[in-house]
Amino acid sequence: MEENTQTDGHGASVRRAAAITYDPGSQEVPVLAAFGEGHLAEKIISIAKESGIPVMPDPSLATMLSKISVGDEISPEMYEAVAKVLAFVGEVDRRYGERIRNVTR
């Protein structure tokens, strides 16, 4: 999940959010699962946070993802940026797992 706030052509602030999904066992590459601006972006972010899905601000990636359609595979030009998101999510998951292990000891 990425989020960012950018200005439209009139200087007004526009929030964007994109969600990607990737299951290496069933997908060759990540897929754009959701994208929205304004109110829809707020809803995507809210659902992610309520579901415990990490939210990573990345304005340049959100802009790139705005150019493809929901359900589309991530293009090779986006692999490096998406790899950073996947690494971020992996790190969040690792830290969460360590906290859970420490609490149960």
Which of residues 90 and 75 earns the better pLDDT score? 75
Provide CB contacts within 8 A for 77, sequence distance 6+: 64
Residues 16 and 41: beta-carbon distance below 8 Å: yes
Provide CB contacts within 8 A for 91, sequence distance 6+: none
The domain segmentation of the chain, as residue ranges, is 2-104
Provide CB contacts within 8 A for 33, sequence distance 6+: 19, 20, 21, 70
Q: What is the mean pLDDT of residues 66-87?
A: 88
Q: How confident is the model at residue 9 (pLDDT cuts 50, 70, 90)?
A: low
CATH number (3.20.20.140, 3.40.50.300, 3.30.2130.10, 3.40.1690.10) of 2-104 reads 3.40.1690.10
- Residue 69: pLDDT above 90? yes
pTM (whole model) above 0.85: no
Q: What is the torsional sign of CA 55, 57, 60, 63? A: positive
Residues 86 and 27: beta-carbon distance below 8 Å: no
Q: How far is CA 45 from CA 39, 54, 97, in A?
A: 10, 9, 23
- Residue 99: pLDDT above 90? no
